[in-house]
């Protein structure tokens, strides 16, 4: 089986198992997703979803973030960890969006990664979930782990994983495949234990062959 064939089979198997491929982060608009994703660095989505309601209610608009005090944001996001840097980035993101992009979340990976604290993982999530751009590959730790285990890639470098999967995954399925890998990585193919007996990828997983 070629890697392209393996990719197609993997997409179909996870699509059948997790038909609703939704982002775990809760948000109401593109800016909120961008902020929630920044908060999720080295923090669980569940924790972020506990923190963001108060943050989003206090700062409902871009201008509110632009004018926010770092210490006030820090207080609201403290439990997400690394709150000093995240608070500075959140305010910096808002200010750069206002000054450089006319107050609108930008829609290219180059523009998105020019924002403070925004890497390719976050940029791809925005491109896929907000703008519906095909070919988005969100290199979450779950995706990297599963892609290696089933044999799609043989590297843990996020940029290399993104590049390889862009070649293999059907562009219209890639973003949702990444979301499904997150769900599968939490429920079945975890970092600590592989529950192969209940895995939808078991028949063709490299780990089992």
Give tens-digit pLDDT for 145-167: 999 999 999 999 999 999 999 99
Residue 66 pLDDT > 60, yes or no? yes
Domain harbouring 69, CATH code: 1.10.340.30
Q: Which residues carry out catalysis?
A: 121, 140
Q: Is the domain of 105 the same as that of 183?
A: no
| Other C-beta atoms lying within 10 Å of the C-beta of residue 209 | 9
Q: Is the domain of 70 the same as that of 15?
A: no
Determine the Cα–Cα distance for residues 183 and 80; give it in Å rounded to an integer. Answer: 21
Would residue 120 count as lying in a domain? yes
Q: Which domain holds residue 165?
A: 3-22+135-204
What's the whole-number mean pLDDT along residues 171-195?
Answer: 95
Q: What pLDDT was estimated at residue 131?
A: 97
- Mean of per-residue pLDDT scores for the chain: 96
Q: What pLDDT was estimated at residue 209?
A: 43
What's the whole-number mean pLDDT along residues 167-178?
Answer: 97
Burial tier of 180 (Cβ tally within 10 Å: 0-12, 13-18, 19+): buried
Q: Mapped to the 3 state alphabet, what secondary structure does 106-151 carry?
A: CCCHHHHCCCCCCCHHHHHHHHHHCCCCCCCCCCCHHHHHHHHHHC
Where helices occur in 18-44 by DSSP H, the ranges are 30-39
194 beta partners: 189
Determine the Cα–Cα distance for residues 209 and 206; give it in Å rounded to an integer. Answer: 5
Residue 67 pLDDT > 50, yes or no? yes
Number of domains in the chain: 2
Domain harbouring 171, CATH code: 1.10.1670.10
Q: What pLDDT was estimated at residue 21?
A: 85
Would residue 63 count as lying in a domain? yes
Q: Is the Cα torsion angle 189, 195, 197, 203 positive or negative in sign?
A: positive
Residue 137 pLDDT > 60, yes or no? yes
What's the whole-number mean pLDDT along residues 61-81?
Answer: 98
Contact 139, 158 (CB under 8 A): yes
Determine the Cα–Cα distance for residues 105 and 185; give it in Å rounded to an integer. Answer: 29
Would residue 209 count as lying in a domain? no
pLDDT band at 195 (very low <50, low <70, confident <90, very high): very high
């Amino acid at each position: 089986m070629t890697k392209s064939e393996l990719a197609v089979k993997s997409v179909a198997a996870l699509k059948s198992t997790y038909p609703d491929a939704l982002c775990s982060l809760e948000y109401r608009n593109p800016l909120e997703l961008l902020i929630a994703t920044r908060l999720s660095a080295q923090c669980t989505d569940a924790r972020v979803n506990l923190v963001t309601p108060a943050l989003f209610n206090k700062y409902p608009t871009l201008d509110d973030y632009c004018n926010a005090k770092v210490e006030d944001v820090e207080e609201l996001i403290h439990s997400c960890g690394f709150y000093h840097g995240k608070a500075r980035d959140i305010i910096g993101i808002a200010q750069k969006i206002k000054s450089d992009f006319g107050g609108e979340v930008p829609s290219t990976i180059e523009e998105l990664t020019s924002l403070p604290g925004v890497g390719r993982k976050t940029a791809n999530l925005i491109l896929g979930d907000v703008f519906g751009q095909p070919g988005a590959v969100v290199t979450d730790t779950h995706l990297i782990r599963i892609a290696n285990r089933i044999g799609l890639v043989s590297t843990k470098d996020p940029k290399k994983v993104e590049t390889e999967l862009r070649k293999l995954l059907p562009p219209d399925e890639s973003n949702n495949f990444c979301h499904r890998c997150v769900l599968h990585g939490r429920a079945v193919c975890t970092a600590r234990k592989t529950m192969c007996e209940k895995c939808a990828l078991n028949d063709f997983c490299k780990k089992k062959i």
